[in-house]
Amino acid sequence: DGGITQSPKYLFRKEGQNVTLSCEQNLNHDAMYWYRQDPGQGLRLIYYSQIVNDFQKGDIAEGYSVSREKKESFPLTVTSAQKNPTAFYLCATGSGANVLTFGAGSRLTVL
């Protein structure tokens, strides 16, 4: 089945640690996105990539980094510079006409 796989589902981080969230897709979509979701705030765009080896900052990129070395993969690193990293993180791909397909999400908790 085609889809998006996010891992891990749950992740705990200590203060000062960097963590990386994985996003893998087999939909053959060019565009990939990372969103952050907090209660009552909807989805906010962190980074997006429209093609391999290229990516752009979204609305809340500070404290995050990404790479896009392969079409299938778009990992997100939450760095120690992100002051409030506890959130639900969603990866999505974009097909024609900008329809988004989402992964199941990763929940990050800072201890």
Partner 1 sequence: AQSVTQPDIHITVSEGASLELRCNYSYGATPYLFWYVQSPGQGLQLLLKYFSGDTLVQGIKGFEAEFKRSQSSFNLRKPSVHWSDAAEYFCAVVDNTNAGKSTFGDGTTLTVKP
Q: Applying CB under 8 A, which residues contact partner 1?
A: 4, 6, 31, 33, 40-43, 45, 48, 50, 56, 58, 88, 90, 92, 94, 97-105, 107
On whether the CB atoms of residues 30 and 23 are closer than 8 A, the answer is: no
Among 71, 70, 89, 87, residue whose Cα is nearest residue 21:
89
Residue 55 backbone dihedrals phi, psi, to 5 degrees:
-155, 160
Q: Which is nearer to partner 1, 33 or 74 (CB)?
A: 33
The pair of structure tokens assigned to 46 is 């962190």
Give the angle 103-108-111 at the CA atoms, nearest 5°. 170
Q: Which is nearer to partner 1, 16 or 39 (CB)?
A: 39
Q: Which is nearer to partner 1, 67 or 101 (CB)?
A: 101
The pair of structure tokens assigned to 23 is 């996003």
Task: Kindly state the smallest distance separating residue 44's Cβ from partner 1, in Å.
Answer: 8
Q: Which is nearer to partner 1, 27 or 31 (CB)?
A: 31
Task: Kindly state the smallest distance separating residue 92's Cβ from partner 1, in Å.
Answer: 8
